[in-house]
Structure 1
Amino acid sequence: MTFQQPSPQNNRRTSGTLSRTSIFLYCAYISTCLEDRAWSFCVSLCMVLMGGMRVVSIEQLFEGVLQMILSGYLGKLFDGLSRKRAILTVVPLNNLSICAAAGLIITCLSIDATSPWYIMCLVLAMCMCAVNRLFLNAEKFITSRDWVMVLGDDRTLSNMNATLLTLDQFTNVIAPLFTGALVTWVGLRETVGIFGIASLVSMTSKSIFLRLIYISNPLLQVKKDKKEEITTDPFSNSRLNESVVKTYWRQASFSAAFGMALLFMTVMGFDGLAVGYGSSAGLPEFIIGAFRSFGSLTAILGAFSYAFFEKRYSVATSGLLGLVVQQFFAMMAVVSVFLPGSPMDLGGYFGNFTAGGWWHDMVHSFNGNNGTNFDPHVDWNHFSSDGVSLVSIFVFLIAIASARYGLWCLDLAITHIMQVTVPERERNTVFGMHNALCNTFSVLKDVLVIILPLPATFAICIFISYGFVTVGHMFFVYYLVKTNSIWTVGRRISQIEEKEQTEEYARL
């Protein structure tokens, strides 16, 4: 079986036009990724400082819930708009929400934690960060899922997808290091202000590049003729009014996409939780930032590997490679909780657990008394922090950083499958609903950490995360078996095409 290819009209471009517009697209996308990676790491540092891992989880919960509720409907709205109106909507809302959140966070860092204004500003800052995440992801999906299908073709799609991911991960290499250095140099509050101003510069640069892409490509200025779709699909009229959930569910790529969504129910990723867990173990922020950068480097290697194996073998081969690598390092992360220095103490925690004590800690999450110490005393000669071994946390961070190689191989494979099988008229709806589903599982992860916020119970979160990752892998394998794509694993494209030609001749 081969995947459906983009329509022939998408191939009617000269190589020069494709090269020029690709550069503009990459410039706009790297601006989006820079503001995303630097700002999200800065917000994680702020939330850890102001309230520890529970406040980090609550802030991520705000982001996840808003995307879970609105992402699919926002995608459906954009499917009904021109590409110009859609991008003109998301870019300003994305960047201006960063400015608003920056102002509120600076206020929180400037006033006493006992002030009634503190909690109000902190909650409003979380809300603005959630709005920013909603429209930032919408901007990424429009450019990297929809626009790229118009600017590329079946020969260049995998390379463009891999390049966009590489740019994203490259910014994730430099942004944490730059942010950590900036915080050390000028302070956390001043860094937040710098990023708020920088978001306005980013908005201007993106607008210029996106406008150059749009005016130079007529195919971006029109979508497929609806009358033509109705002629070829007698169910088009009824599908215009169906729910976003049903549109997502009836896609041929549903099982693979659902498997990818399950991977978001994990604490084994470099979000704010990993930052908080590393800080609780006594690691300085520049070490955590270095691990995060290493994770981005492995993701870039995964993107290049995906492009290499997809071109020479198949999408299924690339996806299964990523699955095996991610599964191995996920097991390594599970093993880390049993190594020296592990904070796991389930017996001690549940032996002293009371509902009243848990509720008291939950109610007082925002009062500033749960902040993480940012002045650890690390003894590198004995590889310990305040007398506690760093073996467990180092193995955990190495595992989740290395697993990103497999994660992004698998992510690109599933994204490729979705891009070439989802109709253009439903692309934003499906990817919007997919983002909503991913964030649904991400919200479940945040709820889990809110319930079990201490490093002593973080092992439970790791065990549950491993279960969801494994089930997600099983859904991807099921998709390959169901679509008969499993037989393409390890076989070169020339062999696959030769077999399909032989079968076609046999049918004739």
Structure 2
Amino acid sequence: MRRIDQVTNILAPLAVGQVMTLASNVVGCGFILGWNLVSLIVEFFFLSRVYRIVPALSIKPPVLEEDQVFLQRTEKRMSQGESTVAPPQPQPQTEGNCNSSLHLKEITNLPLCFQRFRWLVSTCKDGWKAYYRQPVFLAGMGLAFLYTTVLGFDCITTGYAYTQGISGSLLSLLMGVSAITGLMGTVMFTRLRKSYGLVNTGIISSCLHLGCLLLCVCSVFAPGSPMDLSLLMPYITTNSSTDLGGMASQRQKHTYALRGGSNQPLLPDRSSIHWTNNTVLFDNVPSDAVPESYISIILLFLGVITARIGLWSFDLTVTQLLQENICESERGVVNGVQSSMNYLMDLLHFIMVISAPQPQHFGILVIISVLFITTGHTMYFLYAHKAKRKCRLDT
């Protein structure tokens, strides 16, 4: 499945790019719309076929179904203004049934909005408890920490690349190469697992990922890097900011050498920016603008592209660990919490960019991203140490 995903990442931009180039952007949008409609029909057909082949997927656990029916009846009667709610059919009084009945009775005594809120909090709490007590908790948290990064081919990195003089055609080529390296990571995962086992595969993938990201850290301090720590000062007067702008124009860190001696701002105004789904295209960047050095941006993308081999291999390792070490009854809950953690950490990296939005700040974001990734891999190393120690004790 990962290989299919990576191949799609290679072919999809090429296909849509050819349609937009040969026809127009409107035709390209229509092509994407039609493709999604066709894909929806195909997806529905295969999902229905899966449910016909495995009928057990359509059966819910009886206890959860009874609780859901009882809550639906409760909400319906509360909405009709009934002050009392009839309890469900009597069952044998066991300790678990008593606790469940008391819990549901406490909820039904509250107003409807508070009932839903308390039920939501209770569900989240139970999900986190189930997630925390899993033996692969540290591995899952390590994977989530890898989402707090700007070192990927998303709108942030591509926008930064445009400000550093990278053309759209070259950036598309780099995206295709990155998909190929990700495909190599899926192949490496299967071979490493057969040779060294699943846990050791994660360790090797982590080391490879971190080693490649050191190139990104080097790019922050390499020639051509626009990092300027003085721009992070919260209070700068108008005169000092003017002087700072004059000093920045004279610095030879990363400015564009313009012909005719005219001053050109680093970023154009908002009216001249075309916002797309994954890229930011600038119109008024002069055609004769030549960056002083490409060493920084070359090191950055070299690290990002090569790191995807270890990244995808590590992602598959943790995903496989979650599938093999979680019991079937809790697998859906744990995977749901894992997905929520991934999205939460992904949201955090957007908050980082909002806090430091200028290209001069990107080097700081790179360093913070590498720290988060290192923390995530450290969590996995702790899990691997515990897993190997437990394996030795069992043997």
Q: Same fold (TM over 0.5)?
A: yes
Q: Please say if residues 282 and 378 of structure 1, whose CA atoms lie closer than 8 Å, have aligned partners that are also in contact.
A: no
CA distance in 1, matches of 2:388, 2:12: 41
Give the superposed CA RMSD. 3.3
CA distance in 1, matches of 2:129, 2:284: 51
How far 1:352 moved relative to its partner? Answer: 9.0
Could you tell me which amino acid in structure 2 is paired with residue 195 of structure 1?
Answer: I
CA distance in 2, matches of 1:235, 1:377: 72
CA distance in 1, matches of 2:11, 2:237: 43
Q: Structure 1 residues 454 and 179, CA, compared in 2 at 3 Å: closer, same or farther?
A: farther
Could you tell me which amino acid in structure 2 is paired with residue 478 of structure 1?
Answer: L
**Deviation digits for residues 295-335 of structure 1 (CA, Å, limit 9, x no counterpart):** 11111111111111212321012111110110011111110
Aligned to 1:482: 386
**Deviation digits for residues 227-269 of structure 1 (CA, Å, limit 9, x no counterpart):** 9xxxxxx989979955322222222211110011011111011
Q: Would you say 1:319 and 2:208 are equivalent positions?
A: no
Aligned to 1:211: 48
Aligned to 1:410: 314
Q: Would you say 1:455 and 2:373 are equivalent positions?
A: no
How far 1:354 moved relative to its partner? Answer: 5.0
Q: Would you say 1:255 and 2:135 are equivalent positions?
A: no
TM-score scaled to structure 2, two decimals?
Answer: 0.69
Q: Structure 1 residues 185 and 471, CA, compared in 2 at 3 Å: closer, same or farther?
A: same
**Deviation digits for residues 359-395 of structure 1 (CA, Å, limit 9, x no counterpart):** xxxxxx996455541686789xxxxx62432222122
Select 1:280's aligned residue among 163, 170, 185. 163
Q: Please say if residues 256 and 414 of structure 1, whose CA atoms lie closer than 8 Å, have aligned partners that are also in contact.
A: yes
Q: Please say if residues 180 and 286 of structure 1, whose CA atoms lie closer than 8 Å, have aligned partners that are also in contact.
A: no
CA distance in 1, matches of 2:286, 2:269: 26
Aligned to 2:13: 176
CA distance in 1, matches of 2:349, 2:383: 25
| Equivalent residues, number | 309
Q: Structure 1 residues 235 and 325, CA, compared in 2 at 3 Å: closer, same or farther?
A: farther
Aligned to 1:34: none
Q: Please say if residues 275 and 288 of structure 1, whose CA atoms lie closer than 8 Å, have aligned partners that are also in contact.
A: yes
Could you tell me which amino acid in structure 2 is paired with residue 180 of structure 1?
Answer: G
Q: Structure 1 residues 393 and 378, CA, compared in 2 at 3 Å: closer, same or farther?
A: farther
Could you tell me which amino acid in structure 2 is paired with residue 426 of structure 1?
Answer: E
CA distance in 2, matches of 1:338, 1:316: 35
CA distance in 1, matches of 2:317, 2:181: 16
How far 1:187 moved relative to its partner? Answer: 4.0
State percent identity of aligned pairs. 28
CA distance in 2, matches of 1:223, 1:378: 62
Q: Please say if residues 272 and 282 of structure 2, whose CA atoms lie closer than 8 Å, have aligned partners that are also in contact.
A: no
Select 1:389's aligned residue among 262, 270, 293. 293
CA distance in 2, matches of 1:423, 1:400: 35
- The 5-angstrom pairing of residues 68-467 of structure 1 reads 164-222=1-59, 242-347=125-230, 349-350=231-232, 354=236, 368=271, 371=274, 372-373=281-282, 386-467=290-371
- Unmatched tracts of structure 1, length 5 or more: 1-163, 228-233, 358-364, 380-384, 489-498, 504-508
**1:197 partner SS:** helix
- Unmatched tracts of structure 2, length 5 or more: 65-94, 104-121, 242-267, 275-280
**Deviation digits for residues 441-485 of structure 1 (CA, Å, limit 9, x no counterpart):** 111110111121111110010010010010101000101112226
How far 1:212 moved relative to its partner? Answer: 2.4
Could you tell me which amino acid in structure 2 is paired with residue 447 of structure 1?
Answer: I
How far 1:177 moved relative to its partner? Answer: 2.8
